[in-house]
Amino acid sequence: MHIKIEEAIQRLQRGEVVAIPTETVYGLAADARNTEALQQVFDTKQRPNTNPLIVHIASQSAAHSWVDDFLPLAQSLAEAFWPGPLTLVLKAKQDVLPIVTANQPTVALRVPSHPIALDLLTQSGLGLAAPSANRYTQLSPTRSEHVVAGLGVHIPVIDGGPCRVGLESTIVEIYEGADGEVQWQLLREGMITRDEVQAVAQQAPVTKQQATLTPGQHHLHYAPQTALMLCESREGMLSQAADLVAQSKKIAIMSIGEIEPIKGCHVQALPCKPVGYAQQLYDALHQLDHKRVDIILAEVPPNAMAWSAIHDRLARAAHSLP
Ligand code: TXA
Ligand code: MG
């Protein structure tokens, strides 16, 4: 059910859930100070309560409602990348609800750059907890149609068009090490790369000794329903395709750049540059899922930092292969 921003604000203030566009993927939003509203997010997604939520805020200054100490390193990263696809995990204030943090001592914060998300945050005055608006372990939505297909027609959704980034935000944790030094570590790759974070942080990442739980990161995430096989080269992919077609398998091919039509295959050609590829990846996988093919063959992208988050999501998507 498509709704306008004014109705979304009223619903959110009443403690209801609304699917909203962000620049990364669509999120299923609720008031981050309302436990019952947040429980509806978990119920709608069928997501276990052990998985914490990202709180979306209107600006860097709103971070002080959620953390006591927005460390200078967090400030530098926020100034460089907010509003935008970077989530910062920091020690939470005492009053942040346990349903948001999944009882961990930290909270995840992000200022999204999608104008509708920013309008909602500014006009409602709320912090909005929003996981991706898909059922637990399924593909993230990058168009409002994906939300409706995944969560059902009764879900109120604001249509903000296709998401500009197309992959979930980069997650960086900022923490004080045993020696009191402030460190950072990468918890989830995204289109803001490790190198870009490091250039602003002016220090290399250090893995926390006591591992941080990121329950939403297990291998089943981000997977399409159809099995996906990664192919190291185009030649390899084409010969694999020929073998499978000979066995009467229904196959689809996801190429990087244009490719000649192949008899008996659905072909989905994705852009050659990482930004364009990321924008279209989930939409391509959603579409190929609908074709009900036996297997998707995907060309592996180049081995370069700009493709790193795409490698990560393709590897997860391929995990379901028996
Ligand atoms: O781009 C995005 O980040 C999107 C849009 C809607 O903002 N949101 C998103 O949310 O991807 P979700 O819930 O699907 O993924 C958030 C990830 C999960 O893996 C969760 O475990 C982790 O962030 N996370 C949340 N709070 C955390 C915390 N305090 N410490 C460590 N990981 C946390
Ligand atoms: Mg998700």
pLDDT tens digit string along 218-256? 555 667 888 999 999 999 999 999 999 999 999 999 999
* One-letter amino acid of 65: S
Measured from the CB, is residue 38 less than 6 Å from ligand 1?
no
> How many other C-beta atoms are found inside a 10 Å radius of the C-beta of residue 232?
9
Share the mean pLDDT of the chain: 94
Measured from the CB, is residue 104 less than 6 Å from ligand 1?
yes
The pLDDT value given to residue 221: 62
Residue from 214, 222, 282 whose mutation best tests the ligand 1 pocket (most atoms within 8 A of CB): 214
Ligand nearest to the Cα of 218, by number: 1
Measured from the CB, is residue 215 less than 6 Å from ligand 1?
yes
Q: How far is the CA of 36 from the centre of ligand 1 (A)?
A: 19
Which residue ranges in the chain fall short of pLDDT 70? 213-222, 320-322
> Would you list the DSSP string of 166-198?
-SPPEEEEEEE-TTS-EEEEEEE--SS-HHHHH
Closest CA to 114 of 20, 190, 22: 22
Measured from the CB, is residue 216 less than 6 Å from ligand 1?
yes
The pLDDT value given to residue 7: 98
